[in-house]
Amino acid sequence: MKVLQGILSESKEYYLEVRKKIEKGLLSLPKGSIKEREISGKKYYYLQYRKGKKIIQRYVGKIKPEAILRQIKERSLLKEELKKVNEALKIIIRSEGRKHG
């Protein structure tokens, strides 16, 4: 039984560390989406995101911002990974709490 508890403990530590790294990565990436506006026949690009209840639009240029689009996609992938890590942690914590007899 001690072996199983050791494995659960190591797994929990691993997933907590992974969660910390993912959360740190999320902080460095832009949130929101890129919106294209056409004004007087010219295209302009804005980063649009929520801040509380407000929707913020920040001008990013006349050229489609491919780098920001990649970062937004990376953020989305990290958020999906974070969901999986949190689910694994939930299972581990639930398993640790069970009485083995």
- Which residues lie across from 50 on neighbouring strands? 55
| The two structure tokens encoding residue 77 | 């992938």
CA angle 55, 56, 57 (to 5 degrees): 125
What mean pLDDT is reported for the chain? 92
**Which three-class secondary structure state does DSSP give residue 53?**
coil
| Whether the Cβ atoms of residue 75 and residue 59 lie closer than 8 Å to each other | no
Whether residue 12 has pLDDT greater than 50: yes
Q: How far apart, in whole angstroms, are the C-alpha atoms of residue 8 and residue 93?
A: 9
Query: What average pLDDT does range 22-28 have in this prediction?
Result: 96
Structure confidence at residue 99 (pLDDT):
55
Per-residue pLDDT of 64-89, as tens digits, reads 999 999 999 999 999 999 999 999 99
